[in-house]
Homo-oligomer: A and B are copies of this chain.
Amino acid sequence: MNIYMNDLLQQMGADAKAASRLLAIASAADKNRALDCMAAALLSQQDVILAANRLDMENAEKAGIKPSLLDRLSLSSSRIEAMADGVRQVAALGDPIGEIPQGSLRPNGLRIQKTRVPLGVVGIIYEARPNVTSDAAALCLKAGNAVILRGGKEALNSNIAIAVALRQGLTSAGLPDDSVQLIEDSSRETAAQMMRLREYIDVLIPRGGAGLIRAVVENSTIPVIQTGVGNCHIYIDKDADAQMAVSIAVNAKASRPSVCNAAETLLIHKSAAPTMLPLISSGLKEAGVDLRGCSTTMAILNDADIKPASDADWETEYLDYIMAVRVVDSIDQAVEHITRYGSGHSECIVTDSHSATEQFTSRVDAAAVYVNASTRFTDGGEFGMGAEIGISTQKLHARGPMGLRELTTFKYVVYGNGQIR
């Protein structure tokens, strides 16, 4: 174990905790001013950030990193402007702190007010997208939390430059710069040490691929909010409108296949399959999607381009222009398939039957269950939250898109006049 690094992490944790106490009592006006200063600092320090990013890009190219990752890593003037805009948009959101979502007057005269307060210190572990640094910092700050960021090693120089700018923004607005701290070490060992800073970090949110999330869940003693893995299904019921079925299936799969709310498997009722499957299949092919079909699908479509689906296909989050297709005997079989293979993210039924709707929505256990709408809507912005820090696929604390409110907790404030028990 790297003792020096561990001491440093402990110090960062203590500093974050101290900053969080000031943030917890900062007004919305104070926090918004800080966010504006942070956005301004990103713009004024653009050259430094771009120079750091060029270094990261050169290293990544030398290391032979694949083009899709290079694209995520790369910054430009317009991307930095977009980051600054994102920070300003968070400033424009309402402040959830101080809300009293519930209150009561007890028979003994105690007045109980359930009051929304910040979580305290949030830890974010993420991969190679430097814009996460400013997005996450802005959302955490607006919700009154200090944040400790640990990004991927590919983006380290970019992240350092971005964090320096954000911290200068905080200082110039009179809020503690330790509200935003970046761990300037991308070793796994340091990440593992961070996951055990339970004394200081109140919640850990991993953002990234399935491997990263699994590692955090396995190793963290800090409460974790698991995000992101989406093995989503579109189920076309026997009473579906054919045109709607095609449009939703194509949109859910092909509008942006790389994101977690994209669909991976199409399930279709056996009475709908003979007429609708050819229409959906040609829509998907037109959108560039390769299909993997069950034996009934293969028989109906009779298309040499379609490969047979194996069990592995039902389990796979392709995140690509590939869709598995299975013909099912009944809505029950569709629900069973989703129960077995789904990741609890977003599931959709296309139907005009009221009873099928009731069955599907009550029996499918997922963060978002759709009736006649694309799974692609599972998103903080689309849900009216303004911005999101991720999509939770666990059941504790937050489920589905996480906006500002999901970055808070509450305390009970109880007023009495001498009550004893």
Which residues of A line the B interface, CB within 8 A? 21, 24-25, 104, 106, 110, 112, 117, 119-120, 198, 202-203, 217-218, 221, 223-225, 241, 244, 247-248, 251-252, 255, 339, 357, 361-363, 365-374, 376-378, 382-384, 394-397, 399-400, 409-421
Contacts and interface: CB of A to CB of B under 8 A. Distances in A.
Contact of A365 (B117, B198, B247, B366): B117
Nearest to A400: B412
Contacts of A384: 104, 106, 112
12 contacts: A202-B394, A223-B224, A244-B418, A252-B420, A357-B415, A361-B413, A365-B411, A367-B411, A370-B414, A372-B416, A373-B415, A373-B416
Given A251-B421, A420-B251, A373 B414 contact: yes
Given A106-B384, A414-B369, A374 B421 contact: yes
Contact of A383 (B112, B382, B409): B112
B25 A363 contact: yes
Nearest to A24: B365
A171 to B, nearest CB: 23
A231 to B, nearest CB: 15
A415 B374 CA distance: 10
Contacts of A25: 362-363
A396 B244 CA distance: 40
Contacts of A368: 411-414
Given A21-B339, A25-B362, 4 more contacts: A223-B394, A241-B418, A244-B417, A371-B416
A390 to B, nearest CB: 14
A-B residue pairs, 7 tightest by C-beta: A373-B416, A251-B420, A395-B409, A397-B397, A376-B421, A373-B419, A244-B418
A396 B217 contact: no
A211 B382 CA distance: 45
Given A377-B419, A397-B396, A409-B395, A371 B414 contact: yes
A378 B110 CA distance: 12
A383 B33 CA distance: 38
B119 A223 contact: no
A398 B25 CA distance: 22
A377 B110 contact: yes
A367 B412 contact: yes
Contacts of A248: 418, 420
